[in-house]
Structure 1
């Protein structure tokens, strides 16, 4: 249950990394935004004592830097400077996108007084200024074009009364429109895997993931009467098969271990020789883009870390599907 929510609205990010995993592209991985939360917490000023627990992201605009037209898109790539020998450097494929997002971070007090509205305003403004100088998903934060009062940063302390808390959340949701937030739909992937297995015992979760990731066109042959002579004839009708409603997308949700955990310094050329090292590969699931006005409580769009170290699983979780089950 979130009692305090830090809102950093309408951040404009230039050249964010849009290749979210080896198999997906589009919106940056949620792990990139969890990284922003961790960096922001580690660099808190000494006079701000907060603990950051989870993060939510509302996307208001995305402009992927790709060619337009046709069914195949290609990233706009840059020509790198010449190498040390004076020869032409190779082109490394990099996907970029310009974003406008709002970050919502669930916080709790670690000795700081969040009961004072003035103190909350100071904290929100300080952290908003701090995030302006950070890199988010590999992109640079640039100054906002809109300086209206409705887009000010805010640290919301929710009322203990459920009715008042609901009113606060309703007001906050209006500030997040128009936009969409990404939530986790593990439940649909599990359900669709079971459906495919009932049709074909050799079907796997990968088959279900790929099936939900694409638009499936189906052909139906119907018998209709000819308007001229009244005779029946066969007519082919094409339709898009959508197993579940909603704007579903394939997403990476973390990493799974493919090796043992090595002691610090055992693996050559590791990024940090002072921490343990393990080889991993990406974990995938399904996500859904949902408009903020559909969330009943702020917890619905929040992402948090849920690792299983014994199984070597490092992944992110989101409780939106659990809320739907409860409803």
Structure 2
């Protein structure tokens, strides 16, 4: 019998055949970066669940180490640290204090697991009394250029403590050039920069603000984070950061911006990371806990979709769960 239509089902007949022709490789442990929230406290047993992010916690230093033990044994290789200081002020002193919570966490983790790859988030919002990512002028506007030196000091302090990579998330113009120069001037030339180059002013960050205690006291961050309606601007930001010295780029959020992730991957010749943010995680978890979706299947599909869109690496709060359930190798 002669047919004139395409028989695509021929290549879907068996699991073995589907695996043979699969275009996107399955998720691997080395694709994933696990974020942690470490809180500065004198307590040695502080472990506080984050209500809007079931399964995630604010952790003191000993509890952070305890939380990571099994994950490292199961293959956790990459972590991203967010610090929650005991005190905040208008100069974000805790961000670049050599004895700050992130700096101490880095030293502790690298001493315990020298081969663990530790990335630190470089931003000032969680350390500022007003909650913005930069210094404020008297009229309440964020001062871009005056903030750069504080961001540079923060990056240097993280790298000097042993961070393998620093990730500036502030979205100040020119910060990649400022950080690269400061790192080089302090004999930290080999420390790579993972830039939050394409970071949208998104409502999906809500649970993170609770977790990191970093909500602005007044106003919002729309003057320095990107407008969700813009796509071409993403390429401008990405190319600018590469020109300034970024070694890799982050697109954030991930799932709702998979089109942006794809555009950046196609346009840029550096590694690209997708950040599956707190709101994405919270929605999938909530639906799974209610029995409305198969949480494990949806989790895997959402992450595979990011890899298919072009992500070379993925920051996701599901990393520990994937390792624990042996869903990645």
TM-score, normalised via structure 2 length: 0.29
Structure with the larger helix share: 2
Which structure: larger Rg? 1
TM-score, normalised via structure 1 length: 0.30
Structure with the larger strand share: 1
Considering Cα pairs closer than 8 Å and 6+ residues apart, tell me whether 1 or 2 has the greater RCO.
1
